[in-house]
Structure 1
Amino acid sequence: MKSLFRLLLLLVSTAWAAGITTVASAQTATNSSQEIQIEADDGIEWIRDKTEGSGEYRARGNAHATQGELQVYADELVAYYRAGANDKQQMYRMDALGNVRIVNTDTTAVGDKGVYHMDKQVIVLVGNNLKLTNPKAIITARDSLEYWQVKNIAVARGDALVTQEDKRLQAGVLTAFIQPNISTGKNEVKRIDATKNVHISTPTEIIRGQEGVYEVDRQVATLCGSVKITRGENQLNGECAEVNMKTGRSKLKGGTGRVKGLLIPDSTGN
């Protein structure tokens, strides 16, 4: 049976005895009053620095932490605390090491290592095969995945890619805005902002630009900045374009400049 440890985010009231795993509690430096519950197969270790009033808790073996709707899974969890007012502990950071999985209601993110900055309520995932899954979209990245709890946004950095069926939106940075669906009660990605070398591909077209906004429910993307639409050998150039990912239709807009097109006729005469 798993050992259950409760970090109640209040005054520390227990101690570590040799070979015995105990329950710990601490006050965070944030305004959050939600308790943290941690489970681990191989126990928890309390490491203290008496001179500084700081230390850490290490939970090993299929570790699982829960705070409200947020859940963190990893091979090992390390919670760091520092000295606070009235000799209370302030929990300010949690590291997740190995096979990390972050779940917040209907959104799941995975990576090799994660850091939860409790002060800012920000989670950063790094490693290989970074992936965020939501009922409305799947987002992957090369460099990092960030989840900002208060703002309810996810940021993918480095060859960031969002896929929906046979349609793809890729950019240097993708920022996904997550909101609750009133009808279903689920959290869903509603809008994705794309910056740095935006690339959209559909079964019939490739569209490139410098920045864009994708409205997930409408499946419509708006790209701006030296936009190029390529369909086979034909190409259209303009300042902005509206791309309907559902119908495959694109509308080029000139903006401050003229719209240009290069159309190659069918040499077969068809």
Structure 2
Amino acid sequence: MAYITEIFIAVLLLAFNVNWLTPSAQSQQPENKDEVRIEADDIIEWNRDKKLYIARGNVKAVRDVFTISADTLTALYRSKNSNKSEIYRLEAFGNVIITSTENQAIAQHAVYNIDKQVITLTGNNLIFKNRVYTITAHKSFQYLKSCRLAIAHGTASFSQNKQTIKADTLTAYFGYTPSRDNQIKELKAIGNVVIITPQELIRGNEGRYDVLNKVARMQGNVRVSRGRNQINGEQAQINLNTGISYILPSLKSGGRVQGLLSE
């Protein structure tokens, strides 16, 4: 599985070796893979008092295979020793697209706090996708590198291999897998959770999904539907590989599991 952090590392690397190009220099290519070139159609502004760079008009920042495009890109920097400076905050406005060899993220606004290693995408149609899965949200998408997790807010969804998980909020946890480090290993879904497969429709208040083993655990007003058949309970475990579901009553209040079966 391709992993999500590659696209955010691209933003992190913009903190180093940044060259701001005037329109006349846009045809030049980076001299080495560690160098970042930022170009704009309209104007590049340097405010020394505020320690701020602003690029406007079809802005593009390129480092090796990583590209960030936006209508406007700003960078705040601070002085360091030996007359050097470092960028500590990047912000992109309007038609933001972040791409790498395998991944693409689309947003209306993006902020990268380099000190905290947190990137936040906002907008009403946020998309992160690669050849394996797609994550969408309609409010915000935040990646916390140090915590190795990402949080999607606002009718969020995760789709992979004809299986989709929807919820008010989705949290993706990264970790080591046999094939590669820093893959999405688990999803936590909270609020109006729906799991859709070609055979099933599963609803609940909250749940967790083991991405590698494709096992979902749901809690709160759980309903598992297959065609005209439906089973209800307070908690459930569903294996999306085998199609086997276990419906259980509440551990606290007890109660009975209910089923509606049709021929």
Instruction: Give TM-score, length-normalised by structure 1.
Output: 0.73
Alpha carbons 2:54, 2:72 under 8 Å: kept: yes
What are structure 1's unaligned runs of at least 5 residues?
1-5, 22-34
Q: How does 1:83-232 map to 2 (within 5 A)?
A: 89=85, 91-103=87-99, 106-134=102-130, 136-179=132-175, 181-183=177-179, 185=180, 187-232=182-227
Instruction: Give TM-score, length-normalised by structure 2.
Output: 0.75
Report deviation, 1:102.
Answer: 2.9
Q: 1:221 to 1:264 in 2, by over 3 A?
A: closer
Match of 2:48, SS? strand
Alpha carbons 1:159, 1:171 under 8 Å: kept: yes
**One of 240, 247, 252 as aligned partner of 2:247:** 252
Partner of 1:74: 70
> 1:235 and 2:227 equivalent?
no
Partners of 1:8 and 1:242 lie apart in 2 by: 44
Report deviation, 1:231.
Answer: 2.9
Report deviation, 1:93.
Answer: 1.4
Partner of 2:39: 40
Q: 1:156 to 1:69 in 2, by over 3 A?
A: farther
Report deviation, 1:194.
Answer: 0.8
Cα-to-partner distance string for 1:151-171 (whole Å, 9 max, x where unaligned): 332211110011123221110
Report deviation, 1:111.
Answer: 1.0
Cα-to-partner distance string for 1:150-198 (whole Å, 9 max, x where unaligned): 2332211110011123221110111112345553x57532211111121
Partner of 1:64: 61
Cα-to-partner distance string for 1:127-172 (whole Å, 9 max, x where unaligned): 2421112454211111111122223322111100111232211101
Partners of 1:168 and 1:20 lie apart in 2 by: 47
Partners of 2:195 and 2:103 lie apart in 1 by: 23
Instruction: State the identity as a percent.
Output: 38
Which contiguous aligned blocks of 4+ residues in structure 1 show a shift greater than 4 angstroms?
6-10, 68-71, 82-90, 103-107
Would you say how many aligned residue pairs link Structure 1 and Structure 2?
Answer: 240
Partners of 2:148 and 2:99 lie apart in 1 by: 13
Match of 1:246, SS? coil
Partners of 2:62 and 2:219 lie apart in 1 by: 42
Letter in 2 for 1:40: E
Name the Cα RMSD after superposition: 3.6
Report deviation, 1:40.
Answer: 1.0
Alpha carbons 2:247, 2:257 under 8 Å: kept: no
Alpha carbons 1:252, 1:259 under 8 Å: kept: no
Judging by fraction of residues, say which structure has more helix. Answer: 2
Partner of 1:261: 258
What are structure 2's unaligned runs of at least 5 residues?
1-12, 26-33
Partners of 2:177 and 2:158 lie apart in 1 by: 20
Cα-to-partner distance string for 1:199-254 (whole Å, 9 max, x where unaligned): 11222322111211111111111111221222344332222111122333322122
Partners of 1:151 and 1:106 lie apart in 2 by: 23
Letter in 2 for 1:64: A
Report deviation, 1:98.
Answer: 2.5
Partners of 1:255 and 1:70 lie apart in 2 by: 49
